Amino acid sequence: MKIDIERLSHAFVSADGDEKKVIKDFSLAIPSGALVRVLGRSGTGKSTLFNIVSGMIVPNSGVVKVGDVDITTLSESARDLFRSKSVGYIFQTFNLLPSLSALENVYVPLLLAGHETENMKKKAGELLKQLGLGAHQTHFPWELSVGQRQRVAVARILLQRPALLIADEPTASLDKDSSQDVKNAIIEMHKQGSTILLASHDPIFDDMVGEFSCNMEKGGE
Amino acid sequence: MNKFTVIFSLSVRYLKNRGIATILSIAAIALSLFMLIVVGSATFSIARAATDSSVKYPLIVGPDGSSGVRLLLSSLLYLDSPSGLLDAGVVDKLEAEPGVIAAVPIARADNYMTAPIVGTTQGFIDSLGVPLLDWIGKSEEKPQPKTVLSDSSLSNAVIGFRTANRTGLRVGDSFNGMHGMTGEASAHKHKEMSYRVVAILSPTNSPQDDAIFSHYKSVWLIHNRHLANGLQKKFTKEEHAKITYKKEDDTAGLKDAATTLKQVRDSLENNEKAQKFALSKDKFMLTSGKLSAILIQTSSPAVTGRLERKYSSAHGTIAVDTGRTLKRLINYMNKAESSVSYFNYLMLLSVLMLIFVTLIMSLRERKKELALLRSIGVGKKVISMMIMSETLMLVIFGVAVGVVAGHAMLWYIKPYLDLALGTNIEPFMISKMEINGVISTLLSGVVLSLIMSYSVYRMNLVEEIAKG
Ligand SMILES: Nc1ncnc2c1ncn2[C@@H]1O[C@H](COP(=O)(O)OP(=O)(O)OP(=O)(O)O)[C@@H](O)[C@H]1O
Ligand SMILES: [Mg+2]
């Protein structure tokens, strides 16, 4: 899935009315299947950019073409549908619903989002096994370690197979082994042709910089 | 899989996960419904108990000047004291009327430990339609006596089931009637004659359970003797010499008291004190020839209507249609019921409000979780539907538990409640109050869930994602 961002600007308005420009006149063309490492210090707007691309936030101005449609012109429900069909998120933490078991966390949210394929439950179980969580399928998030939780989130992404994977600090809370598992999943998705947006300070990804990177310092100006 | 099925099972999951908070919410709703169930069925059965005891006697005749409601309360439900006296001769007149099946005299003046002593006849005991629970000689396997009240053994007393429980009186025990309530200035114990408990009635689940029954002539006897004692005490020797009545003349205690009092007035014509004494005793003391009320069994409503008219105008009496008066009373009770129920509804409302507060607060904690769903592409509508179904389910569970457990609980505590209230509660009856409670809880649940889902719909969940 190719992404064309043209002259994107976005500002947040705080409670006291102050406008804070986060992204200023930002343009970027990402070919389909690229792995993009988004760089920039904290607070420079990486997450904001992701949320705009995924259709969570509608920017103040600019064009964000994902595939062939300008996502900024879509209705909210159309953007929801787009996310459920084509976008997978991995956040630093809190990727799981506390009231669902590990197995359910892999496929139930996808069902709820209307993303239904055959044998989802069976496939979810197999993915968990592959990620070494075969014995933890019925465990609830609070019964899992941080690394195990992140692997459940990875299993969901692998089940969803989104054309666009957004990984926002996916390894920041993890040890080396778990980080490597997450990285492997990203590489796997990349190999299968997904476009990948990655924001991470983790040196584990440093060997992937060469691919494609952009810097959000100064709002990407 | 159907999306609604997923939403439904997610809601169940969430409620299960909330554990103790869910249980408490459900219990709070259930408990307030339970209170409505108890009050509803108790008031119903109180009204029914009164109705049951009244249908046997569709007409009551009482002294002129008393109100219909008071007559009913005092002669049938024993909730008030009688307001005056009427001539016992009216009983004969009534019995001579065509269409009268029975005219039962009621003489009420005294009590024992607040249990009303009701002077009446064996016929009234028979009309209660319950067997004796205990009688003298039962332990020696003597058969149940056919007659317990007769004018040949005036000290006999038959006591109601709850009176026996409350006062501790057993068959064979003796007790003395008391005039007025302990602590009242005019209260006094009647030492003129002791009663002896000869039988205890099985429960009737009516006001009769709280009474003591004796022959009406026993009430006359006690008050005749009391009058005779009074005459001896109140008057000087000289005055007494003029009174032709002598206590010794009336060893049976059933001489016509009116004649005696007339003698007092005639022989002490210029004695103001004597005149006053005689007049007030004649008016207020339940001596021979006087009654508090007469309960009448008629053959048809037409007879009841005719007698009501006839005895309301002549004979120094008023006549009261029991059913009609009772309806007025029950209407009045319903008013009381609704004031109790307002309180209950208010409690229900505050329970729902508290639950609402906890739910709204928990929404804040769930922002992240909901934002996660949004990031996966779950629509706002689906999320608000999920929240709505959680809230609705909580309220529906609460109502279901309240109704099922409430009736089961009522069934369990029925014996205690019946004993305490003198009722015969039907634990599985569904009262109007309960229906109102259920409907209003469910409606509030709908409103609550709509508010909840609306506030979720309005939430800015993206900010939660941006916070990372
Ligand atoms: N919903 C919001 N309302 C107001 N300001 C916001 C909002 N979301 C983000 N911001 C502000 O926008 C700026 C960019 O935030 P963003 O989360 O995109 O940064 P980031 O590059 O992802 O940082 P980090 O590396 O710490 O995750 C920050 O200054 C932040 O305070
Ligand atoms: Mg960020």
* CATH number for the domain harbouring residue A53: 3.40.50.300
Q: What is the C-alpha to C-alpha distance for residues B195 and B68, in angstroms, rounded to an integer?
A: 31
Residue B60 inside a domain? The answer is no
Domain count, chain B: 2
Token pair belonging to B285: 């003391």
In Å, how far from its chain's centre is CA B408? Answer: 23
Contact predicate B258/B228, CB 8 Å: no
Q: Which range has the worst mean pLDDT, B315-319, B408-412, B416-420?
A: B416-420
The verdict on B114 and B228 lying in the same domain is yes
Distances, alpha carbon B459 to alpha carbons B364, B368, B370, B416, in Å: 10, 11, 10, 52
pLDDT at residue B60 above 80? yes
Q: Which residue has the higher pLDDT, B428 or B2?
A: B428
What ipTM did this prediction achieve?
Answer: 0.92
Q: Does B279 touch chain A (CB under 8 A)?
A: no
Residue B401's alpha-carbon distances to A161, B409, B447, in angstroms, are 44, 11, 20
Q: Given this model, what pLDDT does residue B203 score?
A: 87
pLDDT for res A209: 59
Q: Find all residues with CB under 8 Å of A185, minimum gap 6, and list them.
A: A154, A157, A158
Whether B369 lines ligand 1, by a CB cut-off of 6 Å, is no
Residue B50 has pLDDT above 90, yes or no: no
Domain around A51:
3-218
- Which residues from A are below 8 Å from B365, CB to CB? none
H or E element that contains A94: none
Residue A43 CB–ligand 1 contact under 6 Å:
yes
- Are B167 and B117 spatial neighbours (Cβ–Cβ below 8 Å)? no
- Nearest ligand by distance to the CA of A91: 2
Measured in angstroms, how far is the CA atom of residue A54 from the centroid of ligand 2?
14
Over the stretch B99-132, which tens digit does the pLDDT of each residue have?
999 999 999 999 999 899 999 999 999 998 889 9
Q: Which residue has the higher pLDDT, A118 or A96?
A: A96
Interchain contact B273–A (C-beta under 8 A): no
Q: If contacts are CB pairs under 8 Å, which of residues 361-400 in chain B contact chain A?
A: 368-369, 372-382, 386
Contacts of A76 in chain B (CB under 8 A): 380
pLDDT of residue A158: 93
Identify whether B410 is part of a domain: yes
Query: pLDDT tens digit string along B173-206?
Result: 999 998 876 667 777 888 889 999 999 999 887 8
* Stated pTM of the model: 0.71
Q: Kindly state whether residues B95 and B185 are assigned to the same domain.
A: yes
Whole-number Å distance between alpha carbons of B50 and B67: 18
For A86-90, B51-55, B220-224, which range has the lowest pLDDT when averaged over its residues? Answer: B51-55
Which protein residue's CA is at the shortest distance from atom 26 of ligand 1? Answer: A42
Rounded distance, CA B202 to CA A173, Å?
78
> Helices marked H in B215-321 — which ranges?
216-234, 237-242, 257-267, 272-284, 301-313
**Residue B183: its pLDDT value, please?**
67
**A84 chain-B contacts, CB cut-off 8 A:** 376-378
- Whether residues B240 and B132 share a domain: the answer is yes
Contact between chains at B375 and A98 (C-beta distance less than 8 A):
no
Q: What is the pLDDT of residue B48?
A: 77
Within a domain: residue B282?
Answer: yes
Query: Residue B370 C-alpha to ligand 1 middle, in angstroms?
Result: 19
Is residue B312, in this structure, part of any structural domain at all? no
- Average pLDDT over every residue of A171-179: 90
Q: Are residues B234 and B137 in the same domain?
A: yes
Cα gap B411→B423, rounded to integer Å: 13
pLDDT at B1: 61
pLDDT at A219 over 60: no
Do B281 and B390 belong together in one domain? no
- What average pLDDT does this structure show over B369-378? 90
Contacts of B373 in chain A (CB under 8 A): 97, 109, 112-113
Interatomic CA distance for residues A161 and A192, integer angstroms:
9
- Counting ligands in written order, the one closest to the CA of A51 is 1
Mean pLDDT for the stretch of residues B1-28: 88
Q: What whole-number distance in Å separates Cα of residue A103 and Cα of residue B70?
A: 74
Domain enclosing residue B37, as ranges: 3-48+330-467
The share of chain B scoring above pLDDT 70, in percent, equals 98
On whether residue B164 sits in a domain, the answer given is yes
Distance of alpha carbon B421 from alpha carbon A123, whole angstroms: 64
Beta carbons of A13 and A79 less than 8 angstroms apart: no
Q: Looking at residues B78-88, what average pLDDT do you find? A: 86
Q: How far apart are CA A122 and CA A107, in angstroms?
A: 10
For residues B101 and B198, membership in a common domain is answered with: yes
Q: Judge if the beta carbon of residue B465 lies within 6 A of ligand 1.
A: no
